Amino acid sequence: MSSGPEAKHVPVMLQRCLDVLAPALTAPGAVVVDATLGLGGHSEALLRTFPEARLVAVDRDPAALRLAGERLAPFGERATLVHAVYDEIPQVLADLGIPAIEAALFDLGVSSMQLDEADRGFAYAQDAPLDMRMDQTTGISAAEVLNTYSHGDLARILKVYGEERFAGKIASVILREREREPFSNSARLVELVRNAIPAATRRTGGNPAKRTFQALRIEVNGELSVLERAIPGALDVLAVGGRMAVMSYHSLEDRLVKQVFAAGATATAPPGLPVVPEEHQPRLKLLTRGAEQATEQEIAENRRATPVRLRAVERIRASVRQG
């Protein structure tokens, strides 16, 4: 890795993220949280663009923290890197004595480094051990899921997390084949999934194993349950006037973010009231109309930007504490 993985890492929608967060990061000492540090591309740009801001960045992957730490070392004490999952941000900030933040950035899904490191098992295009854990120090691997889950549970995660039409058939093949030999590497799984899907379907939509790999990754890392806690948790520590940008890469993530943002931007008072009481006023303002996508030029330069959906909000009102 002499050239460093960051040399070929292109942060997705970088300028748009900087633009949308900029109004919240003008004051000296403003705190921005990078909830998904990865290789540190977005973090480095935030520190360079807003020279008086302080960064708190979290990642569950120790390898990412090590590499990003080297990249961000020139910024000294302006950058604080923490080994944590992004639903732990409120606790991370409390431990650092930071009561509120001015900005937060979430770049969801699997990082470029994790995709590029063959032995992590995230990529279906190359044979590798079926691991898929973002933090390899904890939790169960994708191989363990394949080798131990019931038919019903496998079919459920393939259908719900992978949006796979042939979930039941693929689950049946997995159960049959694991009796013959437990799963350990990705190439065998890719081949089995390809053979389980009708030929007419295989001709469209890219690699037929893509949806199965997505489902396993989400299950292994608990991604959606973590996200369900993480977005409201980060909004709770966002100061009034603070801004949050979230980039999603599949419809399940985007739908969840959309729902949380829409709920925060909607008054909760019963319809028909002449005046909406303060506690029922919206606490968020939507900054994007629907979900924004990467430009054609950016997609041409960075194919990983193809599926991205960006949503952003501004905190316009403090929460009214009950009781």
Ordered structural domains, the chain, with CATH: 5-107+223-315 (3.40.50.150), 117-221 (1.10.150.170)
d(CA 85, CA 296): 32
d(CA 80, CA 195): 47
**Residue keyed to tokens 């349950």:** 225
Residue 153 clears pLDDT 80, i.e. is over it: yes
Which residues does the annotation place in the binding site? Answer: 40-42, 59, 86, 107, 114
> What pLDDT is stored for residue 7 in this prediction?
43
Helix (H) or strand (E) run with residue 273 in it = none
Q: Within 10 Å of residue 156's Cβ, how many Cβ atoms?
A: 17
**Residue keyed to tokens 């419809």:** 251
d(CA 87, CA 194): 35
Closest CA to 59 of 48, 50, 73, 69: 69
d(CA 202, CA 185): 22
Q: Helical H runs in the chain?
A: 14-21, 41-49, 62-72, 89-95, 112-116, 142-148, 151-160, 167-180, 186-196, 199-202, 210-221, 223-236, 251-264, 296-301
DSSP 51: T
* Assigned token pair, 142: 């994708």
Burial zone of 101 (CB within 10 Å; 0-12 exposed, 13-18 middle, 19+ buried) = buried
Inter-CA distances, 154 with 34, 147, 178, 182, Å: 33, 10, 13, 15
Which residues does the annotation place in the binding site for S-adenosyl-L-methionine? Answer: 40-42, 59, 86, 107, 114
> What pLDDT is stored for residue 52 in this prediction?
96
> What pLDDT is stored for residue 3 in this prediction?
39
Residue 283 clears pLDDT 90, i.e. is over it: yes
pLDDT 10s digits, 98-152: 999 999 999 997 654 445 455 544 566 677 889 888 888 788 999 999 999 999 9
> What pLDDT is stored for residue 4 in this prediction?
43
Confidence of residue 210 (pLDDT cuts 50, 70, 90): confident
Residue 88 clears pLDDT 60, i.e. is over it: yes
pTM recorded for the entire structure? 0.85
Mean pLDDT over the full length of the chain? 89
> What pLDDT is stored for residue 9 in this prediction?
60
Q: Within 10 Å of residue 159's Cβ, how many Cβ atoms?
A: 18
Average pLDDT rounded to a whole number, residues 83-106 = 97
